[in-house]
Amino acid sequence: MKERIESVQAEALERIAGIADMKALEDARVGILGKKGSLTQVQQGMRDVPKEEKPAVGALLNEARAAITAALENRRNELQQQLDAAAVAGVDFTMPGATLPTGGLHPISIVRDEAVRILRRMGFTLSDGPEIEDEWHCFDALNTPDDHPARNEKDTFYFDSGKLLRTQTSTVQARTMEKQAPPVRIICPGSAFRRDAIDATHLSAFNQIEGLYVDKNVSVGDLKGTLEYMLKALFGSDTAVRFRPHFFPFTEPSFEIDVLLQAAGQAPRWIEIAGCGMVNPAVFEAIDRETGKQLYSGCTGFAFGIGLERLAMIRWGIRDIRLLIENDVRFLAQFQ
Amino acid sequence: MNVSLNWLSSYIDLEGLGTQEMADMLTFAGIEVEGIQERGVTTDLVVVAQVMEKTPVEGSDHLNVCMVDAGEGSLRQIVCGAQNYKVGDKVPCALPGAVLPGGWEIKDGKLRGVESRGMLCSASELGLPDKEHGLWILPQDYAVGTPVRSFVPTDTIFELEITPNRPDLLSHWGMARELAGITGRNLKQDPAEQPTAAIQTCPAGDYITLSAPEICPFYTATRISGVKIGPSPAWLADRLVSIGLRPINNVVDITNYCLFELGHPLHAFDAAKLTGGLNIRRAAEGESFTSLMNEQYSLTPEDIVISDASGAALALGGVMGGLDSGVTESTTDIVLESAWFLRSNIRFTSRRLALGSDSSYRFERGTSPWNVLRAAARAIELILECAGGTAEPVMVGGQAPCLVPEENATNATVLEQGTEGKIYYALDQVQLDWKELDVMTNASIPHLEAARILRRLGLREIDGKGTWDCPPWRLDLKRSCDLLEEVVRVYGIDNIPATNTSIYVEESAYDRASDYRMALSRKLAGAGFWEAQTFKLIAAESIDPTIASVEHALPIKPLMEGDIIRVSLPISEDHSTLRPSLAPGLISVAARNINQGLEVLRFFECGRVFRNTGGGKGKDIENEVLGIFMAGKLNPASWADTRPGEAHFEHLRAVLDILVPKAEITLNPSKQARKTAAVGADILINNQACGYVARIALASCRALGLPMESYYAELDLRKLQQVATAPFKAAELPQFPGSDRDASLDVPADTRNADIVKAIQAAKQKLLVSCRLKDVFCDPSGEKLAADRKAMTYTFLYRDAKKTLTAPEVDAAHKQVLDTLAAKVKNLKFR
C-alpha cells in the first residue's frame, strides 16, 4: 500500500511537471484526484489496510493528496503567468492611435473668454446691446460731432431705416447707463462694423471688448490700475504697459495703451493693444438729458476697448486677420 | 504730416534732443510718430568723385567697371550698375567704412568677380529726395574728395499722425509751439508776428461779396503787383522738398510754405485772369468746375466757390484752385486769398468729390480765424522778398467768426488785428474746476504745477478764480475737462499712481449667458465639433455656391418677404446682408474644408442672427442661436478603423440629446419649406419650439461638393440655456432591481417611432421606467420579412420603487403595454 501511494504520487508529480496547458492540467487533476483518479483508486484500498496501519497510511495518503494539490496549484499559477505574459507580449505601444473626431474652440472665443474671466474676477459684469443701432447710441450719446467722418455712409454701414451697424461696442455704455443708475461696472464683448475693405489687417466686421466703470470719484489712477492689472493678467505678470495720450470723442483725457512685446529673437517693441480714457462729461450729460434723470451728474468714470482679433493675432503671431474668418480646420486645429 | 527737424529748429531750440527722445516726447504728447527718416549723410566717407574711365563688365548687360578719382591721389576701381552717367561726371562716392542711411555699411567686395572698392551713389541712397533716375550727378565745380556732407545738410523727417482734435499741430510753427509747451523750452520768433503787426488792412468794400456768409463769413484778398514769377530761392525750395513737396514757382511755393509753416491755407490768383471783384458763393446745382489738376467736377449748392464778375467758378473754396485762374510764369499781378470756411462744408465737398488737398485737410479739421491775417501777412512778406512787387493793403471782407459760445462772448478777451477794417477775435474762456482735477488724479498733480502747464500751453488765467483764456489757436479747448486733459497729458500719466478700486457687482443675465455659451461650446468641441466664427455680413444671393448667401439660410422660423436686413451701401455684394441664419456661414465653412480634403465635417457656431419683422418696416430682431453642421465620416480613418461609418441623421440627433440630456426632444416634420432643406423638422424641447433641423437639399450638396447626407440644426441659445441650466435636485438611486422585457414589433414600413412611443405612453403603465429602441430590421428582398414591413425591437424596463417585482407582476405590466400598443398602432403584429 505504502509503495503504491508513493508510486502514484511520484507518477502524478512527474505528469504535472510535464503539463503545458490548462486543459491538460485539468485532465490531470481529474485523472489523479477525480472520482476515478489514480490516487482516489489507491485510497479505496484503505478498506483492506489493517486497522493498526490505517493512521500511518491515512497520513501518507493525505500527504500525497496535499503534495499533488499543491503541485497542481503551482503548475496552474506557472501556466497562468505564461499565458498572461504571452497575452501582452505582442503589444506595440509605438503603434499610432485610432482616431476620434476632434474639435475645438475658435481662437477668438478663447481670447474673449480669457479676457472676460479676468475682468469678471475684477468685479466687472457682462452687459450687451444690439448690433443694429441708432445714431443716438452710436454717436450722439458718445459726443461724436454731427460732421464726424464716422457718421458717413462711406465709413459706416447704414440701413435704409436710418439705423446702422454699430461702429464700436461703446454703444453698450449708453445702453447700460440709460437703464441703470451708477455705479456701473460692465464689460461687453461683441461685434462692431466699419466699412473697410477686407485685407490682411482689416475686417469690416470685427470683435471688441468694451469696459466701463462709473461711480463717484473714479480717477485716472483707477483707469491705470485696472488696465495694468488686466493686461498683466492677459500677457504675463512682467508685462510692461504704457499709456499714450490720444483722442476719442467719448473720453477725455484719452489714451492708447501699448504693451511691450518680447518675442523670442526679436527686439522688444511696443504694440498698441487698447484705447481708453476718462468718460467725457458730455456723455453723462447726454444720458441724463435722454433719461430726464440726473443720475450721472457728478459722476466720473473710465472706459476702454480692446480688439479681440488684435489680441489673438499678437498672442499667436497670426499675420493675416482673414484666417480668423475663414475657419479652415488646418488653422483651427492649432488651438485645440 | 511730415515735419522737418531743421525747419522746426528755426522756431525752437532743440539742441541736445536725440531723435528717439524727441519721438518719445511727441508720442507721450499724443502725437503718433509713424516713421522717422534720417536724411543726408553724417559721415566724411562719402566724397565727391569724378568718373575717369568706364568699361562694361564682361557677361553683364548693365554693370560697368569705373576708375574714379576720389581725391586720394590714385584711382579707385568701383563697379556700378547705374546708366545715367558718363566719363567726366562728378558723383558722390561712398568709400569702404561709410555707413549710409538705413545702417548700410559699404565694404570692399566683388561684383561678378570684379573687385569693387566703394559705391557710387544716387541721391536716394544718401537719404535725399531723388532728383534723377540713377547716380546723383553733381555740379562740375565741386572739388573731388570734398565730403558730401559739407554741401548736403542732414535732416530728420518725422512722419506724424495728428489726431483730429488738434488741427493746430498741422504746421511747423504749431508743432514748435506744442514742443515748447511740453518741454518748457523757449520759442524763437513767431514768424508771423512782425509781418502781421506791420500789415495794412482796409475794408474790402464791394471788391469782396460774401454771398454765403454761413459758410464763408470772412475772406481777405491782397493785390500784389509787379511780381516776378520764377523759381523759389534754394532755402525755400529745400524746405518744401524736405517734407515731400515739389517746388513749382516762387508765389505758389510761398503759399504752400505758409501752409506748412503756420497751418493756414492760402491761394494766389493771377489778377489778370480775374474780372472785377470776388464773389464767394454757393455753387449752382450741377455747376461745372475744372481744377488746376485739369479734372472736371460737377458741383452742388453745398460746395462753395470763389467767382468773379464773370460768374465763372475760379476756385473750389478751401479745397483747390481752378485751372484757368492760377499763377503762371507770365503772371505779374496776383490776388492773394486768405479766408475762413466752415469745416463741415469743406469736408462734405472734399469727400463727395473724393478730392482732398493739404488745404481741405486743414479746413475740414477746423482752422482758427485768428490765423487768416497772420498767414496773409507772412505770405506777403515772403512774396515781396522773393518775387518783388508792391502790395496793397489787405482787403478784409466780413469779419472773423466768433467761435465763443454766446454766454461767454460778452466777457471774452478780444484780440485785434489790422489797421483799418480791423479784425476782432474773441478768446474762449474756460472755468477750470480744481476739484475735478483732484478727483481725476487722486490729487496727485499740484495745482501750481497744473497752472504752469496751462500757461506753457498758451492759456492765461484772468481772474485768479480758475477762469482761463484759451489761446486763439486752440479751438479744441472748450470745457473744464479739456483743460484737465491738457494737464494730465503734459504732466504725464506715468506720474499718476495706479489705484484699483473694485466694487461689488451682481452677476448679470449676460454673465450667465456667457457661461452657458462657453460650457456648451466646450461640450461640442469635446464631441468633435470645430467652432467656427463666420462673417455676419453675407451675400443676398451668389452664383458661387461656396459664398455664404441668404439662399442657404435654414433659420428656426422660415424667412418671409422683407425679413432680410440689407445695408444701404455694401462694400461688395458678397457682404451685403446681415445673416438671418448661421447655416450659410457654416455650409460655406464645410465646403471650404471639404476642398481641403477634410472627411469629418462637424462645425458649430454660436452667434447672432438678424431679421426684420414686418417686411422691413418692423423691428430689427437680433437672436443668439447655435448652428450645428454635420456630414461625412464619423471619425477619421486609421489602421484601427479603416472604414469609418458615415454620419446619418441619428448621429446629429445624438448631439441634440447631449445638449439637453434631461429634456424631452420632439421633432415635428416642418410644414414650412426652406430652400436649402431637402426635409426639415421643427425641434421642440419640453414641448417648446426651440429650433429647426434639416437634411440639406441634395442639389445644394452636389453644387458644394458636400456629402449627400449633410445635416444642419439651428437652435435658440436662450431657450437651450433655460432648459439646460434649470435648477434640479439629484434623484435618489433605486433601492430595488428592475426587470427587462423585450418586444419585437412587426409594423408597416411607414410607421414612425413617435407613433409607437405615443402608444406606449398611452398605456400609462406606472411600473414602466423606460423603453429603448434596440433594433430595427428591414428586408427589401422580402425573405425574412415582407418588404413593406419593418421589425422594431424595444426593451422595456419595469421597476417598483418600493419592492422587488415578481415575474408575474412584470409580465402583467408588460402585457398591458403590449395590449395598448396592439390597440393603438395600426397593423401591428408581434414577432
A306 contacts A208 by C-beta, under 8 angstroms:
yes
Per DSSP, the three-state class of B146 is coil
Residue of A nearest to B165 (CA): A247
Give me the residue label for grid cell 455664404.
Answer: B548
- DSSP codes joined into one string, B315-355: EETTTEEBSSSB--TT---EEEEEEE--HHHHHHHHHHTT-
Backbone angles phi, psi at A30, to 5 degrees: -65, -45
Cβ under 8 Å to A: B residues 374-403: none
Please report, for residues A145, B239, B453, B565, the alpha-carbon distance to residue A161 in angstroms, rounded to integers and kept in the order given: 21, 51, 48, 10
Q: Which residues contact B410 (CB under 8 A, 6 or more apart)?
A: none
Q: Which residues contact A289 (CB under 8 A, 6 or more apart)?
A: none
Pairing of β B394-398 and β B201-203: parallel
Each residue of B728-753: b (16+ CB within 10 Å) or e?
eeeeeeeeeebbebebebbbeeebee
d(CA B216, CA B307): 13
Q: Residues of A with CB below 8 A from B499's CB?
A: 219, 221-222, 224-225
* The pLDDT of residue B130: 67
pLDDT digits (tens, 9 = 90+) for A180-237: 999 999 999 999 999 988 998 899 999 999 999 999 999 999 999 999 999 999 988 8
B186 contacts B275 by C-beta, under 8 angstroms:
no
Per DSSP, the three-state class of B455 is helix
Partners of B315 in the beta sheet?
A: B306, B321
Backbone angles phi, psi at B679, to 5 degrees: -140, 155
pLDDT digits (tens, 9 = 90+) for B567-584: 999 999 999 999 999 999
Q: What dihedral do alpha carbons B452, B457, B458, B462 form, nearest 10°?
A: -40
- Give yes or no for A73 touching B (CB within 8 A): no
pLDDT digits (tens, 9 = 90+) for A222-274: 999 999 999 999 988 888 999 999 999 999 999 999 998 877 777 888 889 99
| Chain B interface mutation, best of A99, A148, A272, A336, highest count of B Cβ atoms under 10 Å | A99
Backbone angles phi, psi at B539, to 5 degrees: -85, 150
Backbone Cα Rg of chain B: 41
- Degrees to nearest 5, angle at CA B403 with B361 and B470: 90
d(CA A301, CA A210): 13
As given in the structure block, the three cell numbers for residue B145 are 574728395
Cis preceding linkage at B584, omega within 30: no
- Degrees to nearest 5, angle at CA B464 with B458 and B470: 25
Please report, for residues A115, A226, B25, B687, the alpha-carbon distance to residue B498 in angstroms, rounded to integers and kept in the order given: 20, 8, 21, 54
Q: Residues of A with CB below 8 A from B571's CB?
A: 195-198, 204
Backbone angles phi, psi at B533, to 5 degrees: -125, 105
Number of A–B residue contacts, CB under 8 Å: 251
Q: Which residues of chain B have pLDDT under 50?
A: none
Q: Residues of A with CB below 8 A from B717's CB?
A: none
pLDDT digits (tens, 9 = 90+) for A67-106: 999 999 999 999 999 999 998 888 888 999 999 999 999 9
Backbone Cα Rg of chain A: 42
Q: Residues of B with CB below 8 A from A281's CB?
A: 479-481
B15 contacts B250 by C-beta, under 8 angstroms:
no
d(CA B534, CA B747): 45
B455: nearest Cα among B486, B431, B494: B486
B249 contacts B229 by C-beta, under 8 angstroms:
yes
d(CA B111, CA B60): 10
CA distance B350 to chain A (A): 12
- Give yes or no for A92 touching B (CB within 8 A): no
Cβ under 8 Å to A: B residues 541-600: 565-571, 575, 578, 589, 592-593, 596, 598, 600
Per DSSP, the three-state class of B89 is coil
CA distance A234 to chain B (A): 17
d(CA B621, CA B44): 71
Where are the alpha helices (H) located in B83-204, listed in sequence order? 172-183, 193-198
Q: How many angstroms separate the first and last alpha carbons of chain B?
A: 89
Give me the residue label for grid cell 498683466.
Answer: A232
- Give yes or no for B533 touching A (CB within 8 A): yes
Please compute the mean of the pLDDT values over residues A117-146 and round it to a whole number. 94
Residue type, B308: D
Q: What dihedral do alpha carbons B273, B276, B277, B281 form, nearest 10°?
A: -80
Q: Which of B347, B439, B521 minimises the CB distance to A105?
A: B521
ipTM here: 0.86
Per DSSP, the three-state class of A50 is coil
d(CA B35, CA B101): 14
CB contact under 8 A, A244 and B351: no
d(CA B15, CA B597): 65
d(CA B762, CA B771): 13
Q: What order of strands is seen across the sheet that includes strand A184-193?
A: A125-126, A184-193, A205-215, A300-307, A269-279, A251-261, A241-248
Cis preceding linkage at B669, omega within 30: no
Q: Which of B29, B442, B608 minimises the CB distance to A131?
A: B608
B289 contacts B316 by C-beta, under 8 angstroms:
yes
Q: How many angstroms separate the first and last alpha carbons of chain A?
A: 79
d(CA A20, CA A106): 60
pLDDT digits (tens, 9 = 90+) for A11-34: 989 999 999 999 999 999 999 999
Please tell me the total number of residues recorded for chain B in this structure. Answer: 831
Half-sphere exposure of residue A179, counting CA atoms within 13 Å on the CB side? 11
B583: nearest Cα among B691, B718, B699, B664: B691
| Chain A interface mutation, best of B437, B499, B630, highest count of A Cβ atoms under 10 Å | B499
Each residue of B544-570: b (16+ CB within 10 Å) or e?
ebbbbbbbbbbbbbbbeeebbbbbeeb
A193 contacts A167 by C-beta, under 8 angstroms:
yes
Where are the alpha helices (H) located in chain A, listed in sequence order? 2-18, 22-33, 38-44, 54-89, 107-121, 135-138, 171-177, 220-235, 281-291, 308-316, 323-326, 329-332
> B590: part of which helix (H) or strand (E)?
helix B583-595
Residue type, B601: L
Q: Which residues contact B282 (CB under 8 A, 6 or more apart)?
A: B211, B212, B215, B301, B302, B303, B304, B305
A208: nearest Cα among A243, A259, A173, A242: A173
Residue type, B465: K
